[in-house]
Structure formats: C-alpha cells, structure tokens
Homo-oligomer: A and B are copies of this chain.
Amino acid sequence: VTLALVLARNGHTVRLLCRTEDEAAAITQSRRAARAPDVELPALIVPTADAHGALDGVDALLIAVPSQTVRENARRLREAVAPTTLTIHATKGLERGTATRVSRMLLEELPQLRPVDVCALSGPNLAAEIQRGLPAATVIAGTELSSAERAQRLFHGGGFRVYASDDLTGVELAGSLKNVVALAAGIADGLAFGDNAKAGIITRGLAEITRLGVAAGAGPETFAGLAGVGDVIATCYSPLSRNRTAGEAIGRGVSVQDAVSGARGVVEGVEATAAACVLAARHGVEMPIAESLREVLFDGATPAQMIRRLLEREATREGR
C-alpha cells in the first residue's frame, strides 16, 4: 500500500489487488488499509479482487508480499500477466531452504516474463514515514539499466527519490541480508552494549554481507549504496523496524519464538539468516555474525554467547 501511495501521488492509477471481494469492498468504502491506517487512500488507488481485471492493460506490475509467499502469490497471477509486463518487486527476503532470490522465483512462477522486465526496489524506506509524505530515497535495479529506468520514471517524484541500477543481484541480496545485520544490531541494543559496539557490529556485518554479495555476483558499490548501507542504517536505528526490534527483545532475554510472534508482521531476518548461511557455504565465504546469529535463532545459543564468540575472534588487519 505504501508504494501504491507513492505511485498515486505521482498521478498514476493503481489497481490494488486484494485477497477477497470483501476486503476490496471494505477498502473501497473506508479508504483505509490495515497496513496504512493513518492515511486516507486517494481515489487513484482502486481496490479489486479480480486479478485479470487488475492486470488488463497495465504499464507495470508491483509485487510487495512477504518472501515466503512470493511463489503462491505469483502463481495466482499466472494466467493474468501479459508477457512483456514490467514487473517490480519490493520484497526483501530469500526463499527458505534454497536461498533463491525473489526475481528468480517470479520468473519461475511467471515463465511468460522476460528476465529483463523483472526489477527490484529496495532502500531505506520505513513505510510509516513514506505514508506521512516524508522524503526518502530508494534504488530500482534490473538486469539492464533501461528497464530500471522505466520503473524509475513511475516511482520517482515528490519527496521520493529513485536511483536506477543494473545490479539486480546486488539490490536483492543487499535488501535481504540487511535484516541479518538488523537482528544482530538489535541484539546488541538488547544487551545494552552501547553505540560503539553496535556501530562495530553493523560495520563488520556490512563487510560480511558485502563479501557474500560480491561472491554471488553483486557489485560492491550496491552494498555501499542505498540498498546496502542506507537500508542497514535506517533499519538498525529505527524503533519502527520489526527486525531490529525483534533482535532487541532477543538480546533482553525474550525467546526467539516470542520475539518473532510479538512482531507486527513478518520478521524477514530470521529466514534471511538461514539463507545467508546457505549462501555462505555455497560460495565459501566466512560470515561470523550471520553464523553466530543462526546459532541463537535456530540452535538455542544465548545472545551473550553470540557476542562473546564475536569478541573472541582475533582482530587483525582491516579489509576484505
């Protein structure tokens, strides 16, 4: 809904595909959506439950769903999507088990799409702030710059600044892996280790997700940009971030299960940590923060053990 607001503010008509007729009718009547309760939806946002009608003749398709529901949501659209539809997703996550990127899942579930037409949007975009109309910047990436620039023209405007990139792999991996860093930084918050230690963990966390990204074919400059550093910073310091907040609870001693179920929405960092370790093994990259975090999330290690393990690593040269 947040990105639909951005598009509507830029003058575009947006068909908002709802799960049911009832949901569409309720939003049409109330002009409110659960994910943006404080904003009145403008008339350019048109709720519907009819996938075929929604996709008929569109300039572009925007997908923003939790990562583990991408395949089922895409399957639902299979018959309705025209072959050359510009498709932009804003999902920050990787598939459980396989660590498959969202663009790959979309191409597998919507085989009529051309790879060049699938883009990812990612950056420091806390939804509540964008809904309020505060300024924000983001990146849209495709495998070629031309398609990213087509999407850029749709979203760029007002206080929403869109940069184009041809590093689709990098933007998708940075957007997904930043939640690993956010969980770790949240744990440092929960343990009350201070801003120095937190900055150290974030910096070393950025270094290790960059190493992984580069090994997987991404450009290092993407991790230094809005989808990397920018999103990591916003997520690690915002009280609005679900991932940081869940990490903070875990650091204070709340169980992983309670911290995750207490969040409003999906804590993408949990699955992203598992996926990061899958990718780290696949590409032979050392990721001490993701690995020690995985032990906390899945193997019952305590946050104190995690931090002790990180602190006991030998400090040597800085660099790659």
Contacts and interface: CB of A to CB of B under 8 A. Distances in A.
A202 B135 CA distance: 14
B124 A196 contact: yes
Interface stretch (A232-240, A256-264, A271-279): A232-240
Contacts of A224: 203, 206-207, 210, 224
A202 B132 CA distance: 21
A135 B193 contact: yes
A263 B58 CA distance: 55
Contact of A197 (B134, B203, B237): B134
Interface residues of A, number: 57
Most chain B beta-carbon neighbours within 10 Å: one of A123, A194, A240: A194
A203 B316 contact: no
B221 A203 contact: no
Contacts of A199: 124, 226, 230-231, 233-234
A56 interface: no
Interface stretch (A70-78, A157-165, A246-254): A157-165
Contact of A165 (B136, B163, B318): B318
A225 B319 contact: yes
A207 B220 CA distance: 12
A128 to B, nearest CB: 9
A244 to B, nearest CB: 11
Given A165-B319, A225-B207, A159 B311 contact: yes
A159 to B, nearest CB: 7
A233 B196 contact: no
A32 interface: no
Contact of A196 (B130, B194, B319, B320): B130
A222 interface: yes
Nearest to A311: B135
Nearest to A163: B318
A9 to B, nearest CB: 15
Contacts of A126: 194-196
A126 B202 CA distance: 16
Interface of A: 123-126, 129-130, 132, 134-137, 139, 145, 152, 156, 159, 161-165, 193-200, 202-204, 206-207, 210, 219, 221-222, 224-226, 229-231, 233-234, 236-238, 240, 311, 315-320
Given A161-B315, A221-B319, 20 more contacts: A124-B196, A124-B199, A124-B200, A129-B196, A134-B196, A134-B197, A135-B311, A137-B197, A145-B317, A159-B311, A162-B315, A198-B233, A199-B226, A199-B234, A202-B229, A202-B230, A203-B224, A206-B224, A207-B225, A233-B236
8 contacts: A135-B200, A136-B200, A137-B196, A164-B317, A164-B318, A219-B319, A226-B318, A237-B237
